[in-house]
Chain A
Amino acid sequence: MTERRNHLRQLEAESIHILREVAAEFERPVMLYSIGKDSSVLLHVAMKAFYPAKPPFPLLHIDTTWKFRDMIAFRDETATRLGLELVVHVNPEGVAQGVGPISHGSALHTDIMKTQGLRQALDSGRYDAAIGGARRDEEKSRAKERVFSHRSRQHRWDPKNQRPELWEIYNGRLAPGESMRVFPLSNWTELDVWQYILEEQIPIVPLYFAAERPVVERDGMLIMVDDTRFPLAPDERPQMRRVRFRTLGCYPLTGAIESSATNLEEIVAELLAARTSERQGRVIDQDETGSMEKKKQEGYF
């Protein structure tokens, strides 16, 4: 007698188990909240894991100041709706130097505003575990990342010296100053995430749904002009096109896709027919082969 279990319930239970281990084994855990669909799923699972209590950790958002405005509105609304503590950190040095993706390029902007900003926030909050929504199927270098991924005092990841991870027994032991990145959604795929959002009716940022939006074309990517900071050529006019986003990041670095999918069912239909993997919409991965691995060693999430 065996029971067939829906794979989404299995994935959810596994993620709940991981989140509870974090709450039990660390002194100051924090959940990295990036506002995207994976964060939405992660947060939803966290609400389940500790029910009827609230998740015993705050949310942390590393704001690069270049996120879509819809993302920021959604972030604040979500924290209020769920009654959770939200910590927002912006790298003050980056702001003082006026660092941005357009003026400084994607690599430098990501390093200073995101990677360095994250390190500052983790240090100043003295967080010993940072929970993130990364999935192993996103990118090749992620496929070998542990669920409990150890970071040195300098926040560095050593891919050649990872702790073996057996059964569902996680080793959360740390020396002073070291920390853990924890990825409860490691075994989820993009399709699982969308399927779960549909099944659980989880709120997501409206940018995922197609709408008429002002875009310009840069290096073959459709970039949405979300505010007046975006430099246009003298006679350039953003065109209104029906687009949506498969991933969300800094708006000048995130490519839109032309789509007419205005609800989850249509997104799914599009996804099932898709022939393009999701990170293609991100400028930062295309700098060079293995670029994600390099960023991660330096402390990028």
Chain B
Amino acid sequence: MSQTGDETRPSVRHAAPNAERQGDAGAVFAQEGEKGLLKFLTCGSVDDGKSTLIGRLLYDCQLIMEDQLATLESDSRKIGTTGGDLDMALLVDGLQAEREQGITIDVAYRYFTSPQRKFIVADTPGHEQYTRNMATGASACDLAVILVDARKGVLTQTRRHSCIVHLLGIRHVVLAVNKMDQVDYAKERFEAIREEYLGFAEALGIAEITCIPVSALHGDNVANVSHKMDWYHGPSLLAHLETVEVGDAIVDKALRFPVQWVNRPNHEFRGYAGTIVSGRVKVGDEIIVVPSGRLSRVARIVTYDGELESAAAGDAVTLVLADEIDISRGDVIASREARPEIADQVAANVVWMGDEAMHPGRPYLIKCGTRWVSGTVSSLKHKLNVDNLDHMAGRDLELNEVGFCNLSFDRPIAFDPYKENRATGGFIIVDRISNATVGAGMLEFGLRRATNIHWQALDINKGTRAAQKGQRASCIWFTGLSGSGKSTIANLLEKRLHDAGKHTYILDGDNVRHGLNRDLGFTDTDRVENIRRITEVARLMVDAGLIVVVSFISPFRAERRMARELFDESEFLEVFVDTPIEVCEARDPKGLYKKARQGELKNFTGVDSDYELPENAEVVLKGGENTPEQSIELLLEKLRADGTI
């Protein structure tokens, strides 16, 4: 085996071409490097031929490799829908499951290049339930190609896609009227569709609309101008994509630089790493840091490739400031002349993407730019009909619905209205339990009242009030199914505490539902609001120095967690009365299970509404095994151990 010995191995070396070695390929390459990049989105109804159109673009730009072509030929015979002809859609439909179903189910990204431009295509699904995927694809794009089938014309889907595209801030739309071969390449048909669409889209406010008649299947007007439609004098789709000017002059807007990461390799250097999302910056510029409002000046613009005198939107750089001020991730370095808005209460359009509905009052995590905050949707002002952007009444947002909401954050954020700046006006909403991204928001404006509410710092506080009563204020939160025995135990606990000279109050369904919360029903949204109000009342009472006993089914983890977070860690005790549902139902003290089983009572926890088991309750009481007295002893022991009593 001497031929595999070391002598035949090339030594490790670096690719270090020098200028004179760059031949023709180098020249071609240099040219390639000067291309711009266009990100666009394709959307259309299920059968409009979206995947076929993208496949056609790839094919006609000669980007299909020999082995891909071989696979395409064999796949076309096996699972194609074009009767043995090459099925272009198979080039782009990625996942196996969707290939078998013959539909696209998610956002797929495709890449191709022409002599003029590089393209990134977000291919998004057309059917109704996947609005969220379209919004996702649209968020990254500057242009949208909306397909219609020439035989069917403008459909509800077409209008919906246009609305979402407009809502997500895309200013350039191409209406590709596909399957012209199916209508004998008739000019009249194209003109009728064009007229109808322009009427709708212009009313919507889309800035620039271009209509092109195409046949993706045969390649007419896709990459090449068709000879079958001599009446059409505009560019082919590809020619339009190559030349359309989409620059929204983002570099001419005010400087916005969300700080991503504080770069501190040693004591000499302190820089702020981030991407300039709008405007430009040069050494010496006076800046403001928001939301803190601190002022400084740009001292250096640092990059690996050397220090810069100036940088502009799109550049990922590291800024060094002239003054030592406290800046952390999530802050925004901005122009002093045109400052972002700062608010902790805002109004925004929200696209809901979670399987579980959005409930006003429920706490979520929100990421805007590089800043995470905690927040709630304080109210849903109205829903938007995505077919025409009309307003509709509503209480919560289901998957794929869009609503105009007021939101409230635990800390102020710096932002711009989305219409003015997509990078500083968009945010995502994240579920606190599953960590899934459940919504996307586009900020409209800050709510003025938010800036005028200030907390009063008082000399007499929770500690002094509780001390006067010889106790530590706390909230003891009982959760469990109806009939689990939590009210019995809670009442007994209050009695024992009262006997011991403690100052207490009990909040339960009877004294809250009949008064404070009598306007609320039992839908998920109302349950969330119910818990929110109870939590706030309990917090005021704890602030008054009381030991508050709360006894509510409180079936959702998110609400229990929200309650917990309103209190200091040491003053909240979650008690789970863990009684099997069979036992609860057998007891049925108020006859509610019976009614629920007969369908007379809707949304009853444990029957047709879920109870989410507590994961971090401080105390778990076995309501089915222990007597209330035994449970009380366990509880009192815990309270003594904690120093509450």
Contact = CB atoms under 8 A, between A and B. Distances in A.
Contact of B113 (A49, A174, A191, A199): A191
Interface stretch (A17-25, A93-101, A105-113): A17-25
A67 interface: no
A24 B260 contact: yes
Nearest to B13: A206
B561 to A, nearest CB: 14
A48 B273 contact: no
Contacts of B17: 198, 201, 263-265
Contacts of A290: 95-96, 99
Given A48-B305, A143-B110, A263-B21, 19 more contacts: A2-B247, A13-B315, A13-B316, A17-B260, A51-B303, A70-B10, A162-B106, A166-B136, A169-B428, A171-B430, A173-B435, A201-B14, A206-B13, A209-B15, A237-B3, A238-B3, A263-B17, A280-B65, A280-B67
Q: Residue among A144, A164, A212 with the most chain B CB within 10 A? A: A164
B120 interface: yes
A30 B123 CA distance: 31
B275 interface: yes
A269 B274 CA distance: 36
17 contacts: A3-B247, A9-B314, A13-B314, A20-B316, A50-B273, A51-B304, A53-B263, A53-B265, A136-B111, A166-B140, A167-B139, A168-B140, A198-B17, A199-B29, A202-B15, A266-B25, A277-B68
Interface in A28-58: 47-54
A269 B24 contact: yes
A171 B435 contact: yes
Interface in B1-21: 1, 3-4, 8-17, 21
A202 B37 CA distance: 23
B260 A164 contact: no
B346 interface: no
B482 interface: no
Contacts of B107: 144
B252 A1 contact: yes
A5 interface: yes
Nearest to A161: B436
B624 interface: no
A174 B435 contact: yes
B440 interface: yes
Q: Residue among B12, B35, B135, B368 with the most chain A CB within 10 A? A: B12
B22 interface: yes
B21 A169 contact: no
B23 to A, nearest CB: 5
B109 A74 contact: no
Contact of A73 (B3, B12, B113, B251): B12
Contact of B302 (A52, A140, A202): A52
B503 interface: no
Contact of B95 (A13, A137, A159, A174): A159
A153 interface: no
B66 interface: yes
B269 interface: yes
Contacts of A73: 12
A97 B148 CA distance: 59
Contact of B106 (A20, A144, A277): A144
Nearest to B93: A140
Contacts of B437: 163-166, 171
A48 to B, nearest CB: 4
How would you classify the secondary structure of chain B's contact residues: helix, strand, loop or mixed? mixed
B423 interface: yes
B25 A269 contact: yes
Contacts of A237: 3
A204 interface: yes
Interface in A131-177: 136-137, 140-141, 143-144, 159-160, 162-169, 171, 173-175
B426 A169 contact: yes
A24 B25 contact: no
A201 B15 contact: yes
B136 A52 contact: no
A20 B24 contact: no
B398 interface: no
A166 B260 contact: no
B67 A276 contact: yes
Contacts of A204: 14-15
A259 interface: no
A277 B65 contact: yes
Which are the 7 A-B pairs with shortest beta-carbon distances? A2-B247, A269-B25, A53-B265, A277-B65, A16-B316, A48-B304, A173-B435
B28 interface: yes
A172 B236 CA distance: 41
A274 interface: yes
B149 to A, nearest CB: 25
Interface in B24-46: 24-26, 28-29, 32-37
A225 interface: yes
Contact of A275 (B11, B14, B65, B302): B65
A298 interface: no
A124 interface: no
Nearest to B441: A166
Interface in A186-222: 186-187, 189, 191-192, 195, 197-199, 201-206, 208-209, 211-214
Contacts of A168: 140, 275, 423
B312 interface: yes
Contact of A226 (B4, B71, B304, B316): B4
